[in-house]
Amino acid sequence: MIKVNSGLIDKIKIDENFNASACFNCGTCSALCPVGFDILPRKLFRYVLLGDEEKILESTDQIFSCLLCRMCEEQCPHEVNITENIRLIRSYLAKSKLGV
């Protein structure tokens, strides 16, 4: 069963550039990612929108391993700010969970 944190999106969306909700889950980004992460970016954005904090925490290593190369972002058909979204999710994790 998913434990939903309904306030998660508001905690992450501290910047107006955060637009994970624009993602329509087409998979283009995942197919292009040179690192080949299963979670990034589309699944990650779903977890944020659903408030599934547990899944995000489980994926911390992958989230911090993204190269921020923007290869995915350049081909995203919905102009999702992928790298900025990932950066904000990292910031949330660093502050609230890792105590950085």
CB 36, min distance to ligand SF4, A:
8
For 67, phi and psi rounded to 5 degrees? Answer: -80, -10
CB 1, min distance to ligand SF4, A:
26
Residue (25 or 96) nearer to ligand SF4, CB: 25
* Among 22, 57, 65, 17, CA closest to 42: 22
Residue (1 or 16) nearer to ligand SF4, CB: 16
CB 61, min distance to ligand SF4, A:
13
Q: Where does residue 25 fall: left (phi above 0), alpha (psi -120 to 50 degrees), or beta otherwise?
A: left
Residue (3 or 70) nearer to ligand SF4, CB: 70
CB 54, min distance to ligand SF4, A:
21
Residues at the site binding ligand SF4, with contacts judged by CB under 6 A: 23-29, 32-33, 35, 40-42, 66-72, 76-78, 80, 82-83
